[in-house]
Amino acid sequence: MTNDLGFPLLSTIVLLPIAGAVAVALTPRARGEIARIVGLTTSTGTGILTLVLLWQFELGEAGLQFVSRHEWVADLGAAWYLGVDGISLFLVVLTGVLFPIALVGAAPKHDPKPYVAWLLLLEAGCLGAFMALDLLLFFVFFELVIVPIYFLIAGWGYEDRVYAALKFFLYTLAGSALFLVGVVATAFLHQQATGELTFDLVVIAETQAIAPTTARWLFAAFALAFAVKVPVFPFHTWLPDAHTQAPTAGSVVLAGVMLKVGTYGFVRFGLYLFPEATAWFAPVLVTLGVVGIIYGAVVAAMQADLKRLVAFSSVAHLGFVVLGTFALTTQGIQGGILQMVNHGISTGALFLLVGMIYERRHTRRISELRGLQKPAPVLAAVFTVVMLSSIGLPGLNGFVGEFLVLLGAFVTYRWWAVVAAAGVILAALYLLWAYQRVFHGEPDEANAGMLDLTWRERAVMAPLLVLIVFLGVYPKPVLERIEPAVDRLVAHVEAHSDYEQPTVAAGGER
């Protein structure tokens, strides 16, 4: 369905950051403050439009809303085709909210003009990826996000930034090449079966004209590209380096938004396009998700660098998203989508706080940080709340998503869910241990004079803290908007798949 607001809301949301990036690029190089103002105004305006989208979203509707469709490449059957439903809605809103916070919370040390322009272009790419319903258009946005984050890491990162940026670029580009082959093959195989050449996601998914064996190969191509982007174990090795070397704002949007392009791709394009192949590959992906949960937690506990610890925690948390998605139950997929949003809020906040500590102490080594609670009690209090939300403490946002994931996975993959639950305990171990070493004890001379959070920094963190508490105490407004679309997706997978889920003896029950 379309929601008629009198103007193309989704197209405006995507194109506004691009227009802002062009405006920033046209400002004089010496006028860095103007670039910041234009960038913040643009990203804030985009964020407000995403809140309008949320406000106007029709509750209880499972189909697509605010649809915008225009012919793009007629000979190929490609279109500028945008739409949202409960699956993509909150990822769009998260993107709109997180980018202005990242711009205000972490200013660049040099060359603000290209820095702001790349961030705005990255925002447009993420928003477009979450709304694109044409396979070719989604691929364009899927690729677009690679370029800005590469230049942000390489241009404004730390000591090994060039190595980290190149490693990220090569990993993701390899996955994208395979994805392009899968996209083109899907369209042409659909044409062979139906006589119609189109990249329309809805048409291809609802027709289900591609033979099951062929669809499994195509799903594998899509899944590998998404697995690199998430990243799923064992394709994760680029992530800690990219996070460690990225500037603070780069880490915030990389963890908070960009990684979700991969997990969202699994839900929107994997499950919807290839339901039978999804069910066939599900045990493998569930296993990789659980391995990622345990592996990420164990390796995080061994880190000496606080930022690298948070980076490895992302591997663990995104493992929960993969587990919930491929449990193929309503609760599991709901929990996975909610966990995407929760991870973006909590981990984005953690990276902001680590960046604030680094700006004061010029080190992220846990052994060199001690007793920060005394000179910076507000920083310690905020870090405590964010850390507990990342652990999954009941009453904070992280609990709801992880609980739904484990509940949904327990139905179909019982023993996998039991093992994954240990990841919650391990998260408490590495985060509480890190907090104890950084904030407790008597500060030495270097740490004793550390400044507490400024009023600007408190204002930056305030909306994230409000969301952490609100989503933990009252997640109903989010879940009731996600559920209809998820129910429809699960019904679609079940209707087009005769693959039998694992039995109780094999580790689960249908």
Query: pLDDT tens for residues 89-142?
Result: 999 999 999 999 999 988 887 888 899 999 999 999 999 999 999 999 999 999
Q: In the numeric block, which tokens belong to residue 244?
A: 């460690």
Domain ranges of the chain: 9-495
Q: What does the alpha-carbon distance between residue 187 and residue 273 come to, in Å, rounded to a whole number? A: 11
Return the residue matching tokens 């009690």: 377
Instruction: Say if CB 127 and CB 46 are below 8 A apart.
Output: yes
Cα–Cα separations (whole angstroms), residue 33 to 2, 12, 24, 29, 39: 40, 25, 10, 10, 10
Question: Which residues, at least 6 apart from 171, have a Cβ–Cβ distance to it below 8 Å?
Answer: 228, 231, 235, 237, 238
Whether the per-residue pLDDT at 444 is higher than 90: the answer is no
* Structure confidence at residue 147 (pLDDT): 92
* Structure confidence at residue 204 (pLDDT): 93
The share of the chain scoring above pLDDT 90, in percent, equals: 68
Across residues 476-503, what is the average pLDDT?
82
Q: What does the alpha-carbon distance between residue 299 and residue 112 come to, in Å, rounded to a whole number? A: 35
The helix (H) or strand (E) run that includes residue 392 is none
Cα–Cα separations (whole angstroms), residue 113 to 15, 38, 437, 456, 496: 19, 10, 38, 22, 50
Q: Any alpha helices (H) in 158-274, and if so which ranges?
A: 161-194, 201-207, 212-229, 238-245, 248-253, 260-265, 272-273
Residue 394 binned pLDDT confidence (cut-offs 50, 70, 90):
very high
- Ramachandran category for residue 371: left, alpha or beta (phi over 0 → left; psi -120 to 50 → alpha): left
* Structure confidence at residue 5 (pLDDT): 59
Whether the per-residue pLDDT at 504 is higher than 90: the answer is no
Q: What does the alpha-carbon distance between residue 104 and residue 252 come to, in Å, rounded to a whole number? A: 12
Cα–Cα separations (whole angstroms), residue 371 to 287, 434, 442: 40, 12, 5
First to last CA, the chain: 33
**Residues paired with residue 82 on neighbouring β-strands, in sequence order:** 68, 132
pLDDT tens string 292-344: 999 999 999 999 999 999 999 989 999 999 999 999 999 999 999 999 999 99
Q: What does the alpha-carbon distance between residue 466 and residue 472 come to, in Å, rounded to a whole number? A: 10
